[in-house]
Structure 1
Amino acid sequence: MEPWELRHAVEAGRATASELGLQVDDVIVVHNSDRAALHLVPCDVLARVAPLGRLADSEFEVEVARRLAGVDAPVAELEPRVEPRVQVRDAFAVSLWTYYEPVGSEIAPADYADVLLRHHAALRRLDLDAPHFTDRVAAALREVSDRANSPELPASDRELLSGALGGLSAAISTDEDGDQLLHGEPHPGNLLNTRRGPLFVDLATCCRGPVEFDLAHAPEEVGKHYAGADHDLIHRYRALNWAMFSAWRWRQADHMPDRDHWRAEGLNRVRAALERCGLG
């Protein structure tokens, strides 16, 4: 969010929690991108505040969290002192979550694989309507194909991303027999190491697909500890994921911190991942 929008988001998070009876004396910005994560103190609540245009995403995330709480999934929980729903405040959608103090130690690959296995097992117990991961690929391809949405993307890089998104998606998404509900983006930034153990956050990315799609977001060593994973398929999904990441960074409306760095780095990662797959 831009600084002016973040200020309004902070006030929306503060006011929403206060009106629900939670004491808020201070707000600490934990993360700021297309939505803000705010630590509210002393009530010790995490507020996720998104522009109202992302209301449906916020409502979907709350529904996923609510259902996962009933199957003992290793995920962050909604704040139990308030009703589990999205609150609308001014131009923002606000959801309130339990705040977990992070533990400094790094999560070992075997532990990462174990928590992802448990999360996938919990997700298989849900009957939930979620998009297929190919819908996300198609959305990224539309951004790359529309020069008005990505005017600064050089022609050669546009061709690279279009080819990677279209070609890889077509090549690896034809068999859906093994598809299941997935986290969608279980990268290290979405796995908190807490006193309760590792917990996944950012549940709005939940989608359907093979487990290898999720594993491609995790550090490479994790896949070696995940029983039954197809490692060649993981490499292809990793290339596809970097192509999607790059497509989002070249959107004119993207506000990721250090965007210029990640524009260049994302394209480098796409090329390297394609080379590893023998598709460079």
Structure 2
Amino acid sequence: MEPSELCRALEAGRATASELGLRADDVVVINNSDRVAMRLLPCDVLARVAPLRHLADSEFEVEVARRLADVGAPLAELEPRVAPRVYVRDTFAISLWTYYEPVEAEIAPADYADALMRHHAALRQIDLDAPHFTDRVAGALREVNDREQSPELPEADRELLHSTLSQLSAAISVNRAGDQLLHGEPHPGNLLNTKRGPLFVDLATCCRGPVEFDLAHAPEEVENHYAGADQALIHRCRAVDWAMFAAWRWRREDQMPDRDYWRAEGLNRVRASLSRCGLG
């Protein structure tokens, strides 16, 4: 968020918690992009604040968290002292979560894979109306194909992203018999190392697809510890994942920190992934 919007978002999060009886004298920004995550003190709550255009996504995330908590999924839980819902204040959607003090240690690949397998097992126990991963691919394709939305994307790179997103995603989704609910983006930034063990966050990306789509977001060493994973399918999914990532970075209104670096790096990762698939 830009500085002026960020200030209003921080106040919206703080004021919402205070009105719910949670003492929030201080605010610490944990992450700031198109949404902001903040730690409220001394109540020690994590508030996730998004512009109202993301209200549906915020409500979906809360519903996913509520259902997964009932089946023991390894995830960061909603704040138990308030109702499990999204609150609206000013022009923002606010959800309140348990804050977990991070453990300063890298998650071992075997532990990462174990957490993901348990998360997938929990997802198989819930009934949820979620989009297929190809719906997300279609959204990225719209950004790539709309020159007004991605005016700075070079034409050669536009064609690279278009062909990767359209052709590879179609090939991946030919056989949907093994599809299930997924986290959607279980990359290292969305897996906290806590005293309770690894916990997943950012559940709004929940979608349907093969488990390999999730594994493609994890460090490569993780796939070796996930029983039954299709290595070739993981490589194809990884190319699609990086193509979506690059497409979002080239959006005119993208606010990811270090966007220029990640624009170039995203395209480099697409090419490297295609090369591993034998499609470079």
Is the structural similarity TM-score above 0.5?
A: yes
Give the C-alpha shift of residue 174 in structure 1: 1.0
Deviation >3 Å, runs of 4+: none
Question: Which residue number in structure 2 is paired with residue 124 of structure 1?
Answer: 124
**In the TM superposition, what are the counterparts of 1:55-70 in structure 2 within 5 Å?**
55-70=55-70
**In the TM superposition, what are the counterparts of 1:194-205 in structure 2 within 5 Å?**
194-205=194-205
Give the C-alpha shift of residue 171 in structure 1: 1.2
Q: Please say if 1:232 is aligned against 2:232.
A: yes
Q: Please say if 1:143 is aligned against 2:172.
A: no
What one-letter code is carried by the residue in structure 1 that aligns with 2:210? P
Distance 1:71 1:128 in 2: 13
TM-score by length of 1: 1.00
Question: Which residue number in structure 2 is paired with residue 260 of structure 1?
Answer: 260
- The Cα offsets for residues 253-276 of structure 1, whole Å up to 9 and x where unpaired, read as 100000000000100110111011
Give the C-alpha shift of residue 25 in structure 1: 1.1
Distance 1:26 1:7 in 2: 13
Consecutive unaligned residues in structure 2, runs of 5 or more? none
Aligned-partner SS, 2:225: coil
Distance 1:7 1:233 in 2: 43
Distance 1:160 1:209 in 2: 23
Aligned-partner SS, 2:22: coil
- The Cα offsets for residues 149-208 of structure 1, whole Å up to 9 and x where unpaired, read as 000000100011001101101111111100000000000000000001100000000000
What one-letter code is carried by the residue in structure 1 that aligns with 2:227? A
What one-letter code is carried by the residue in structure 2 that aligns with 1:159? E
**In the TM superposition, what are the counterparts of 1:182-261 in structure 2 within 5 Å?**
182-261=182-261
**In the TM superposition, what are the counterparts of 1:60-139 in structure 2 within 5 Å?**
60-139=60-139
Question: How many equivalent pairs are there?
Answer: 280
- The Cα offsets for residues 37-75 of structure 1, whole Å up to 9 and x where unpaired, read as 000000000000000000000000000000011000000
Q: Please say if 1:155 is aligned against 2:155.
A: yes
- The Cα offsets for residues 71-105 of structure 1, whole Å up to 9 and x where unpaired, read as 00000000000000000001000000000000001
What one-letter code is carried by the residue in structure 1 that aligns with 2:71? V
Distance 1:268 1:227 in 2: 29
What one-letter code is carried by the residue in structure 2 that aligns with 1:249? R
TM-score by length of 2: 1.00
Aligned-partner SS, 1:40: strand
- The Cα offsets for residues 228-257 of structure 1, whole Å up to 9 and x where unpaired, read as 000010011001000000000000010000
Question: Which residue number in structure 2 is paired with residue 6 of structure 1?
Answer: 6
Give the C-alpha shift of residue 30 in structure 1: 0.2
Question: Which residue number in structure 1 is paired with residue 174 of structure 2?
Answer: 174
Give the C-alpha shift of residue 34 in structure 1: 1.1
Give the C-alpha shift of residue 222 in structure 1: 0.3
Aligned-partner SS, 1:49: strand
Question: Which residue number in structure 1 is paired with residue 45 of structure 2?
Answer: 45
- The Cα offsets for residues 97-142 of structure 1, whole Å up to 9 and x where unpaired, read as 0000000010000000000000000000000000000000000001
**Identity across the alignment (%):** 79
